[in-house]
Chains A and B, each alone.
Chain A
Amino acid sequence: MRGLLPLLLLALSACARPSAAPALTLATSAVGREGALVQAQLARFEAAHPGLRVELRSTPDEADTRHQLFVHWLNAHASEPDVLQLDVIWTPEFAAAGWILPLDRFEPEAGAFLPAAVEANTWRGQLFALPWFVDVGMLYWRTDLAARPPDDLATLAAEAAQPGPPSGFVWQGARYEGLVTVFLEHLGGFGGRILDDGGRVVVDREPAVRALEYMRDSIHVQRAVPADVLSWQEEHARFAFQNGSARFMRNWPYAVPLLSDPAQSKVAGRFGVAPMPAAPGGTSTAALGGSQLAINARSDQPELAYALIQFLVAPAQMIERAQVAGQYPSRPSLYDDAAIRAALAIPAVEARAIVERAVARPATPVYSELSSILQVHLHRALTRQAEPRAALGTAAVEMRALLSRSGLDAEGGW
């Protein structure tokens, strides 16, 4: 019994809140180089704010899992963590639910950030999060096989269909969020959109049908895209390109440093990146991804939380992030910076060209459900369970029903 008591006390003290120094908590993914980078930046922030501690809450790297964890915390009205790392598509959902604070009272310098990223973080006219870094979809091509990247989608398919290896254009075609980003890029390439400026569903219009037909035919008719991509996510595509079996790849910037590492990559020094090509009449489009920083609406110290966000999105930290983790800055002005030019493995002009083509996915609190409808019907068309026109027609009907049921079709606010 006597042995148990100290143990019990120890356990109790471990459960008790540390009340000494005021502590801010930051919930973010904290693995590998990125984790070490965040730790180092937080140490600098603490040094600049004597008496303040910042605790890092490591959260799952996988988006769905982190989303669930955040929902559990925020729905329970927990005052911690104070600052949250959000995926670009969550901001309107969390804002509408009243889980994160509008940042307008802190007068953020919204104009300094990429407009598409600011738009994605705005709900009902108010800014709810600041973009930490941006992700953009881009085309990886082999510099040893061609003098320049394909100019349009038809050329891309024709070159990809040539027998190999390397042969084929690989992308993320499993039924998940990644498929929507790939579709968004093809859609833009044909001049289509998911929602129009008034928030109406236009994904069943002609350009969208042609974009989806192009995607399906490049798999099943031209065989420019291997059918295996229909169960692939980012890493599957990267391995295929890295092993030299695929000729083109659509992926995020994270793959550049990995593909440049000769220890694991067979294409190191033999690949380049370019904006995704378009069809005649369309616009070259990059899906916008990336991470945002927002403040928990129940935070006890919103001012300090904002100070931390401001510090993390300041140019110095962003440049360091680009250097260490290869993640793209969300401030367009930084692409002229010499340090960034050295940090990005590709010419900064190219990076900037892609970033400026970034298109956000629809900003709505019901985005996850909207996307889920689209995922199912896109995947049905791509696996030939439905014709593209019929699939998009059904998707549009379901999406309109969802928006009207949620009372989000009339009010706008997109």
Chain B
Amino acid sequence: MTRGRAFTALRRAEARAAWGFMAPALGAMALVAAGPIAWTAWESVHLHDLRMPWLDRPFVGLDNYREALATPRLIAAAGHTAVFAILTVTLEVVAGLGLALVLHHRRRARGVVRAAALLPWALPTVVVALLWRFAFEGPASVANMTLASLNLADQPVAWLSGAVTAWVPIVLADAWRMTPFVALLILAGLQQIDPALHEAARLDGASPWRAFCAITLPLVAPALLVAALFRALDAVRVFDLVYVLTGGGPGAATEPLSLYAFDALMRHLRFGYGSAISMGVFVASFAGALVWIRLMGQRALVREEA
């Protein structure tokens, strides 16, 4: 009993010390994360329009959220964001896995290849967006020349002014830029796999495909899921790429949520309404991330028990 009580006291002291150690980190998080989020939440339930100061800043409850949900342009923007996230994350994870496998198996000149693969990732997004814009803009662009030389199109395509075709440079640019990042994450996962497993498979006469499906894929899955989570969170917030490449056009056909929120906040100075949209994006991506992490956690547990 006494030993138990002393143990509890010790634990309590340790807990106090732990809180003390964590305080600076918690304080920093409160300052840079919790504070601004709380402020945004507060703004989102008020009518705050810089252009009309005579309206003051009255509490309007959920009016801003209601207006947002009744705005077709916002619903469309949410759809665009989802489509963009699904397309780019799928492309990047598949291509990233391929690239990682190549990097993993190519011993020679791995450093050079890895550096070359990382180059697109190191470029500023705006530069990437401009590069891809040039590649798809005008009748003499790289994209149109390629199509013409392959006899796939008799007329040059005005990529950026088609509601569907405008997505091609956006998705390709994102995939081109972020695949190396995904590949690096997956490569780290690949290098942790015990080579003995593959050796055993080979001795047992398993085909390379069978070994890939039964050994590589399940063991690299946690890295894949982490990479997909990172990319999905980034994709939901996509802004600069679209801003430079299409500006959300043609019409509003490629406008993602963040660009719409930026318009409401920075161009139209509707702080309350813009904050409501930002809160929506935040809550949705946070909830998505929580669910994803939970799923990943369960997978990890299942594997440990097995």
Q: Which A residues fall within an 8 A CB radius of B?
A: 64, 67-68, 71, 75, 93, 96-98, 173-176, 226-228, 230-231, 365-366, 368-369, 372, 376-377, 379-380, 382-383, 385-386, 406-407
Interface size on B, residues (CB 8 A): 29
Shortest Cβ distance from B138 into A: residue: A228
CB distance from B156 to the nearest CB of A (A): 9
Given contact pairs A380-B250, A383-B250, A96 touches B138 in the complex (Cβ within 8 A): no
Chain B CB within 10 Å, residue with most, of A75, A226, A230, A377: A230
Q: Can you list 11 A-B contacts with CB-CB less than 8 angstroms, sorted by A residue number?
A: A71-B269, A96-B52, A96-B53, A175-B252, A176-B247, A228-B137, A369-B267, A372-B268, A379-B250, A380-B250, A386-B251
Q: Is the CB of A175 within 8 A of B50?
A: no
Shortest Cβ distance from B251 into A: residue: A380
B residues within 8 A CB of A96? 51-53
Chain A CB within 10 Å, residue with most, of B250, B263, B266: B250
Q: Is the CB of B96 closer than 8 A to any CB of chain A?
A: no
Q: Is the CB of B263 within 8 A of A228?
A: no
Shortest Cβ distance from A381 into B: residue: B251
Q: Is the CB of B161 closer than 8 A to any CB of chain A?
A: yes
Top 3 nearest A-B pairs (CB, nearest first) are: A380-B251, A230-B161, A383-B250
Binding site secondary structure of chain A: helix
Q: Is the CB of A380 within 8 A of B252?
A: yes
Name B153-199 residues within 8 Å CB distance of A: 158, 160-163
Q: Is the CB of B232 closer than 8 A to any CB of chain A?
A: no
Contact of B137 among A64, A176, A231, A385 (CB under 8 A): A231
Other A-B pairs beyond A173-B161, A406-B49, 18, CB < 8 Å: A71-B266, A93-B51, A174-B247, A176-B247, A228-B138, A228-B158, A230-B158, A230-B160, A231-B249, A368-B269, A369-B267, A372-B267, A380-B250, A380-B252, A382-B161, A383-B249, A383-B253, A406-B51
Q: Is the CB of B57 closer than 8 A to any CB of chain A?
A: no
Q: Is the CB of B269 within 8 A of A175?
A: no
Q: How far is the CA of A176 from the CA of B158 in the complex (A)?
A: 18
Shortest Cβ distance from B271 into A: residue: A75
A residues within 8 A CB of B50? 71, 75, 97
Given contact pairs A64-B267, A228-B137, A385 touches B51 in the complex (Cβ within 8 A): no
Chain B CB within 10 Å, residue with most, of A230, A231, A372: A231
Contact of A377 among B55, B251, B263 (CB under 8 A): B251
Contact of A231 among B53, B73, B246 (CB under 8 A): B246
Name B238-270 residues within 8 Å CB distance of A: 246-253, 263, 266-270
Q: How far is the CA of A71 from the CA of B252 in the complex (A)?
A: 25
Q: Is the CB of B51 within 8 A of A376?
A: no
Q: Is the CB of A98 within 8 A of B53?
A: yes
Q: Is the CB of A175 within 8 A of B251?
A: yes
Q: How far is the CA of A405 from the CA of B137 in the complex (A)?
A: 39
Shortest Cβ distance from A227 into B: residue: B158
B residues within 8 A CB of A97? 50-53
Q: Is the CB of A365 within 8 A of B51?
A: yes
Contact of A175 among B138, B162, B248 (CB under 8 A): B248
A residues within 8 A CB of B267? 64, 67, 368-369, 372
CB distance from A309 to the nearest CB of B (A): 24
